Chains A and B, each alone.
Chain A
Amino acid sequence: NAGVTQTPKFRVLKTGQSMTLLCAQDMNHEYMYWYRQDPGMGLRLIHYSVGEGTTAKGEVPDGYNVSRLKKQNFLLGLESAAPSQTSVYFCASTDPNTGELFFGEGSRLTVL
């Protein structure tokens, strides 16, 4: 009964380093999303995917790349981390029948 799982939960990076956040869902959902949450700004959509092999830009895509090689996995990459990317990142997937969004537990990223 895992739902949506994100790894890692916490990470500290130095400016310029790269990293990948992994999102895995076991609900066979087609649609998956990456959001970032910053104080006073709610959640903003970074990238999303409507199915295996597809990705699209959201509201704040700059500085991030994504891949959806397998239906159950959605990866978010930072090629050269910047302090402005310090945030909490949420992965989510959508149940096509109800439209309900299922969230992962979040990943807190700090870029020094």
Chain B
Amino acid sequence: AQKITQTQPGMFVQEKEAVTLDCTYDTSDPSYGLFWYKQPSSGEMIFLIYQGSYDQQNATEGRYSLNFQKARKSANLVISASQLGDSAMYFCAMRGASQGAQKLVFGQGTRLTINP
């Protein structure tokens, strides 16, 4: 079975600081993908970044980077130079090859609050 664990229900960070949101996963699939989504207070789900299990380098998208440590089964999201607009709920998700139908399994989420 696939499982995603986000151990930080909430985080508070000062504006302009970097922030790391933790995500650990459990899977027996040799091939899998890891995703991060942002959900602002308006409710929509916004795709942020993707990491494939065979990717040699950590994924980056602008201020977002994914700290992928395969041996530790962790896929932490790093946001550099945080902004007030980064305040939102963040979800880590995984898709394993054995899941079929490209289904995603989500973690519980971390609510990030950026303080001015």
Contact = CB atoms under 8 A, between A and B. Distances in A.
Contact of A44 (B33, B35, B106): B106
Interface stretch (A18-26, A69-77, A79-87, A99-107): A99-107
B95 A99 contact: yes
Interface residues of B, number: 22
A48 B104 CA distance: 11
Nearest to B6: A42
Contacts of B45: 90, 92, 103, 106
Chain A interface residue bracket vs B: 20 to 34
B102 interface: yes
Nearest to B91: A42
Contact of B109 (A42, A45, A48, A56): A42
A99 B103 CA distance: 9
A95 to B, nearest CB: 9
B108 A41 contact: yes
Given A40-B9, A43-B91, A88 B43 contact: yes
Contacts, number: 52
Contact of B106 (A43, A88, A94, A106): A43
B101 interface: yes
Contact of B44 (A35, A96, A106): A106
A13 B6 CA distance: 33
B31 to A, nearest CB: 11
12 contacts: A31-B101, A31-B102, A35-B106, A41-B108, A42-B91, A42-B107, A43-B106, A45-B103, A101-B35, A101-B47, A103-B45, A106-B45
Interface of A: 31, 33, 35, 40-45, 48, 50, 56, 58, 88, 90, 92, 94, 96, 99-101, 103, 105-106, 108
Interface of B: 4, 6, 9, 33, 35, 43-45, 47, 50, 91, 93, 95, 101-109
